[in-house]
Every structure is written in C-alpha cells, then in structure tokens.
Chains A and B, each alone.
Chain A
C-alpha cells in the first residue's frame, strides 16, 4: 500500500497531478449551461410567467385606453406594451433567487462550493441565464399583441428586448444576492421581494403616467432605474431611437446590471459559512 512508502509529512502522491486549467469564462459557461438545461428542456415553463402580463394587457389595457387614452395621445398599445415587457422582466427575474434557495436548502450549492468552480462565476452564470426567459417571454408578448394592432418600430423593439435582458441580469443578480443574504431565514426572501417590487413598479410610471402624479412621486421616481428603462422602451417602440430617453434607459439598465453583479458576487463569495 502506498502508505508504507510515504513518510509522514511529505506531500502525498496526487499533489503532482497538475491543476486543470481554469478560466472564469469557462466556469461561467458551465454554470450558464447547467442553469439553462431545465428551461430548454421544458420551455413551456416560460408560459406560466406570462399569465400576469397577459392579464394586465387584457384587463388593464382596455381600462387605460378608456380613461387615459386622450392624455397619452395616440396609440395606447405603444405606451402600454413596453411597460408590460418591463413588468414581465421585473416579476420574472426578481423571483429567481428562490431557485437558488432550493439549491441552498438541498446540498447542491454546498457541492458547488467544494469544487474548484469559481465563486463569482457561480453568480454570473446564473445571472446571465436570466436573459433567456426575459427575451423569450417578451418576444411572446410582442407576437401576441401584433394581431391587436401593436405596430412597434422593429429595430426599437429588438433594442428594447436587449435592454430588458441587461436589466434582467441586474435584477436577477439582486434577487440571488437577497436569497444568499437571508439564507438563514428563508421566508424573509418573499417579504423583501414583495416589499420592494410594488413600489418599484408603481414608481416607474408603468401602469399610469407619472406626469399626472404629485411632484414628490416624480421626484422619487427619478432615482428608480426602472422608470428610465420604461421611458426608453416607449421611445424605442415609437421609433425615437436616438432620443435621450433611450440613452438614459441604457445607462439605467447597465448600471443596474453592474450594481447587481457586484452585490451578487460579493454575496456568493461569502456564501459558505
């Protein structure tokens, strides 16, 4: 037996085995592919996330057209559908931390932490995956609305999907960070998520124009990144691709993604104890 040939304290034999080459990109791809597998295998699961936006489109859209159609001027769908896409993104990606909660309570997360897999990559890979449901669900909403007379600027629509994908990375990362932060009191996840979600939604001017609200609401909404993304989407759908609204939308989406990734990576690196 090999034990006999070793004097205590010497480096055991397997230490000569070279470490496999690691790269952050490769690790991120491994995590991303693993996270995508259940989505790709069961694409129908994406449809469940569409129930809520479709309810808003079907039951709130007509009310909006009736009550605020004139103030909005012109096409209500061009005003409301971009908002519904942002809503889909927000609702879909803000709950994704619950997937990580499952992995935390089973042994999956722990198993990953004992492997040499880069910890930042474990967060980034998961966050990048959020782009897939965001784009797929938004595309479905757009297709569903075409027969109802939605006619967005095609380039504007594509750019909006991309911007929402970037926003989704950020919101998804924050959701993962939340799941990691409250891993010892799991129920807190939903308390915080719900508490943050609705103010962010209403203060983005998603459902009703903020222009008709009080000054303090407009002031608060000016620090809400979602508001800029919603404004940007509306401008892009209307074909106003080079407007400052679109530029600010990108700033807000990228800033959210950067902040989310930074917070998320930090939480992931500390998630072992």
Chain B
C-alpha cells in the first residue's frame, strides 16, 4: 500500500541554512494495516505525510502510494487516498452537507450519488443534526468528525490522518476514534490507516504498528507491546530515606535483570524523600529480589511502585529524551545514552518529569 525508499526532504531556508526535515525514510505498509507514526514536534512526521499525499515532492528517494509513484502519477495517488490534515477541511461559511456533496463531486460522483454518500456519512459520523448548519457554528469535535467524513467520501483504501485528535478533549478523542475504527471495518476491504500523532496513548491504544520517528529518521518500528518489552522494560520505584538512597541504588545496580537505575531526591511536605527508580525487564518479578537485597543491607523501603512501560519510555530508551518534553531543540545535543546503566543524581530534570508522569 505504501512503499518508500530512502525518502529525503530538505528545505532550503536561506543560502547558508538547509533544514533536513526527513533524512532517508524507507517504509513498507501492507494493505489493511493501522500504523501510527510517533515522534516529537519537528521530527519529520508531517513532512513525510505531505510527501506521501503528493503535497510536496521528495528531494530524493521514491515513494509508491496505493500502487503509484507520488511524483510520476500524483493524480492516481490523489484519487486513491483520503487525507485528514491538521487543519479543518470545511470552509467556515459552507454548510456541512454541501461540503460533503462537493467533495463527492470532486472525486467524480454525480450530484445524486454524492448526495446519497453525504447522507450516509452524516449518519455514520453523527452529524445528521448539523447537516444544514454552517461549519463555523460546529463544535471542535463535530468539526473533526466532518474532517474525517470529508476524507472518506470516496471510500479510499488508504486514509492518512495528520494528528487527528489534537485539540480535542479525551471524551471527544475517544468518540472520534470510535467512528474511525467503525468506518475502517465497515469498508469492503479493511482500510489502511496511517496516522501521525504525538499522543502516546493514541498510538498505544489504536495502532497495530508504531513507527517512531526522530530527527527525520525511523528509529523503531514494531507493535507497541514489542517496543515496550524490548526497548523500555518495567519501572520499579522504591522510596527510601535520603541517606540510604545511594546505597540502595548500588544494590539495585547489581540485581539481576536491572537495566538502569535512577536516583532522585525531592523535598516534600513531610521532609526530603528519595526514590530509586529501576528499569527492569520484568518489574513484578524483580521486585521481591530487590526488597530482599535492600533488607540484607539494612535499608527500609517505605513504598514500592511497579509501572508498566509507556511509549514515552520507549522513546526515552531510544533517544534519551522524553516525548512529553516534545521539542527537537538542538539536533546535535542529544541527552545521555540510556541503554547503558546510568546513575544520575536527583537534579536531572528529565527524570523528574518522567517520574511525575509515571507516578
């Protein structure tokens, strides 16, 4: 359905500076897959999508989408794909139904068929009540459902969603996804869906395959579960008195199955408290051993928390940065390498952010 080879996109900003937005993406997506492209802002997700949807030509490399080369046969590609961009698809002063009918006609339906199709989609996406309203009067969730409807008018076999639920509250996000997944299975052949997102839970919950992109390159590509198991591991958090923290960290480092150890100290209402955060392949299995080892050196652990990894942990494991801090600030200034065992002290702000997320 999609096949790209060494896709590259450079933007020449000025005579002296060129932004390498996409640096060689090779990718295969089979029919029926639901793929999430995950990465921080500026990672090259949207640029990649814009090349695959024929909006911009690649600087080099090739891309076949729905069987056709995006540069040689853009019209064929355009006829086959549906696209829901980051912005709204409906003109503010247009009526909801009119936009759907127009979109149908654009794809070659006659007026009658287009009206019928518009009716079906309004019904399927819960917009029948809003059919004769101006688009500017719709709520955020309704507008986004209309965008999806517009992208589906011609029953595309491949649908691109660029940050589909950005700006929606959790309720509307879940609702939008209900509709997308239903439309996907309603299609005669399962629709292929490629979405970009920087919402971890969105990729985690809905995508069958997650492609992690950073600095314009694919750095991981697998199911969310496999990525988490291979690249992150569980997180075991032990709380101790500050004076014992360093000793416990040393103990944890030696424990079997430990991948990395983080030590943090925070001032809390009840005085300072330290936590030792251990990343381990099997958190629940490693915890009893860790507690026995602590006991053996006379350290009292006051609280234990075992967390399953998130995709954010995967990203952290891959890049040393957290997705939640977004931002590709400085392409050269990567964080600490993280596959090696590192013991950082409590002021590392990166770790603190993550701890709050996981706590």
Residues of A within 8 A of B (CB): 1-3, 6, 8-9, 11-15, 17, 19-22, 27, 30, 33-34, 37-38, 41-42, 102-103, 105-108, 110-117, 272-273
B contacts with A, residue count (CB < 8 A): 45
B67 within 8 Å of A (CB atoms): yes
* Interface set of B (CB-CB < 8 Å, partner A): 1, 3, 28, 30-33, 53-56, 66-68, 75-76, 78-81, 83, 85-95, 98, 102-103, 105-109, 147, 150, 157, 189-190
Instruction: Indicate which residue in B92, B103, B106, B157 contacts A14 across the interface (CB closer than 8 Å).
Output: B157
**B54 and A114 contacting across the interface, CB-CB below 8 Å:** yes
CA distance A114 to B80 in the complex (A): 10
In the A-B complex, list the 10 residue pairs whose CB atoms are closest, starting with the nearest: A20-B108, A107-B87, A15-B67, A38-B93, A11-B67, A14-B157, A114-B83, A111-B89, A107-B85, A3-B30
B184 to chain A, nearest CB (A): 12
- Give the Cβ gap from B60 to chain A, nearest Cβ, in Å: 16
Given A110-B87, A114-B85, 15 other A-B contacts at CB below 8 A?
A: A8-B3, A15-B68, A15-B76, A20-B109, A27-B106, A30-B105, A34-B91, A37-B98, A106-B91, A107-B89, A108-B88, A108-B89, A110-B85, A113-B55, A116-B108
In whole angstroms, how far apart are the Cα atoms of A38 and B32 in the complex?
Answer: 39
B107 near A108 (CB under 8 angstroms)? Answer: no
Q: Name 27 interchain pairs, CB-CB below 8 A, sorted by A.
A: A1-B31, A2-B189, A3-B30, A3-B31, A6-B31, A11-B67, A13-B157, A13-B189, A14-B66, A15-B76, A19-B76, A20-B108, A20-B109, A33-B102, A34-B102, A38-B91, A38-B93, A106-B91, A107-B89, A107-B147, A110-B85, A113-B55, A114-B78, A114-B81, A114-B85, A116-B75, A273-B56
Chain B residues with Cβ below 8 Å from A27 are 106
Question: Closest residue of chain A to B2, judged by CB?
Answer: A12
Contacting pair A272 B85 (CB below 8 A): no
Tell whether, in the assembled complex, residue A12 and residue B33 are in contact, meaning their CB atoms are under 8 Å apart. Answer: no
Indicate whether A111 sits within 8 Å of B157 (C-beta atoms), given known contacts A3-B33, A21-B108: no
- Write the nearest CB–CB distance from A18 to chain B, whole angstroms: 9
Residues of A within 8 A of B109 (CB): 20
Closest to A22 in B: B108
Smallest CB–CB gap between B135 and chain A, Å? Answer: 10
Q: How far is the CA of A112 from the CA of B98 in the complex (A)?
A: 15
How close is A19's CB to chain B, nearest CB, in angstroms? 5
Min distance, Cβ B109 to any Cβ of chain A, angstroms: 8
In the bound assembly, the distance between CA atoms of A113 and B91 in angstroms comes to 14
